[in-house]
Structure 1
């Protein structure tokens, strides 16, 4: 009975995969024909089925970009970059999309040791740092066994020193892994999805206006109160925006 269930589940997943592939190809064909709105509908159908990929988000972003949909194009380019952060083509197209935004927001330069550590931490993902740590632990075990069973004093010394180096590197990479985890946990980007949004100084409509943002601007969500989000810009400004005015990445 269990085998039948597994076979049935496999067939269902295979059928869904085949259907998604078909929709993706149809979306690409519609895009090449210049029917961008219908292409978007095909791509969105795949998303509704729970399928996600950098290629899908990239094509969806391109279709929105062709229709001058500022916020959706930037949103989906950012989604694509989350899955393929080093893809040059996605980066290039995302830069063109950002040029359509109105808001010119600077950034607070980060300097010193903390900035260097942050940049180094972001070189790898949390999973990759964890895998590197496991690799050094494995090396430590091998080297320690060599030290334990070696008869030569020189080999014992080299094995012991090398194993201690591996322990040190394990601790360092674990520290980077947890630092990356904390950075990712704090990173809550969102895109402004309305043409213009009044950012308030407090989470209510009666408070004074802090500044105005326009569609396509990327912000960081740092707090939530009822139907308001506290956001922070790259230049350090903070304020409160209505939930419906932004879309979290």
Structure 2
């Protein structure tokens, strides 16, 4: 029995070592491809650089630096839709990267469609602005911290003897509980908005948005390559999309590229 157990343990160690070797090899290979891609980019060989970058993403490795460089390479060869797609991917991984935002703005200026954001009411704009100051993780951490403060203050209130101090601790615990609930609500609201926003980029040079998911339905409006849309639903080979200005319709699936596909 001991002999059998030793064999199993050895096989497990062998498998773990093999897995680590494979991961290390893949990582080293991707580092080399990234350096080669950067060298080719600096030499002006943008197509060749893109090929190196694509091999990295196809291996399952994703990073904002990789997608930023891919966006730059596509922009250099005037392929605006792929350029915008990879800038958007970089922003998903690092929303605070100012360089990506600046280059994305340049790429968007090359598109035909001018889509305006749907106007918000004063209260809605104020609330969304407050919620948008932090991501849902930070709001969650604040909710946990405020709840911890509530528990601490409530325990102190329970053991306090002076009436003035008890009132102060009770009021503080109540404020902490309310703050925790508000932060939790903000976290939930932002997480919901993020899950509902499934961005995609139009890759067709020009496409017709239909009222229903079939070619014989009415044309609503037209879009051009590089335009950002949000996918609402899928039916067969069609995607229901919404623009930032609130317009909705259906597009063939093969005319779009999803941003969050990793």
Q: TM-score, normalised by structure 2?
A: 0.88
Matched, 1:96 2:90: no
Equivalent of 2:52 in 15, 27, 42: 42
Corresponding residue for residue 24 of structure 1: 34
Residues 15 and 122 from structure 1, CA distance in 2 versus in 1: closer, same or farther, beyond 3 angstroms?
A: same
Corresponding residue for residue 173 of structure 2: 163
Q: Per the alignment, in what secondary structure is the counterpart of residue 118 of structure 2?
A: coil
CA–CA distance in structure 2, aligned partners of residues 69 and 176 of structure 1: 38
CA–CA distance in structure 1, aligned partners of residues 145 and 245 of structure 2: 39
Equivalent of 1:117 in 127, 130, 134: 127
Residues 19 and 168 from structure 1, CA distance in 2 versus in 1: closer, same or farther, beyond 3 angstroms?
A: same
Residues 150 and 248 from structure 1, CA distance in 2 versus in 1: closer, same or farther, beyond 3 angstroms?
A: same
Gaps of 5+ in 1: none
Corresponding residue for residue 25 of structure 2: 15
CA RMSD between the two structures: 1.8
Q: How many residues align?
A: 249
Residues 240 and 173 from structure 1, CA distance in 2 versus in 1: closer, same or farther, beyond 3 angstroms?
A: same
Corresponding residue for residue 209 of structure 2: 199
Corresponding residue for residue 3 of structure 2: none
Residues 42 and 199 from structure 1, CA distance in 2 versus in 1: closer, same or farther, beyond 3 angstroms?
A: same
Gaps of 5+ in 2: 1-8
Matched, 1:127 2:141: no
Please say which of residues 196-205 and 158-167 is displaced more in the overlay. 158-167
Equivalent of 1:185 in 195, 213, 216: 195
CA–CA distance in structure 1, aligned partners of residues 141 and 16 of structure 2: 31
Q: Per the alignment, in what secondary structure is the counterpart of residue 247 of structure 1?
A: strand
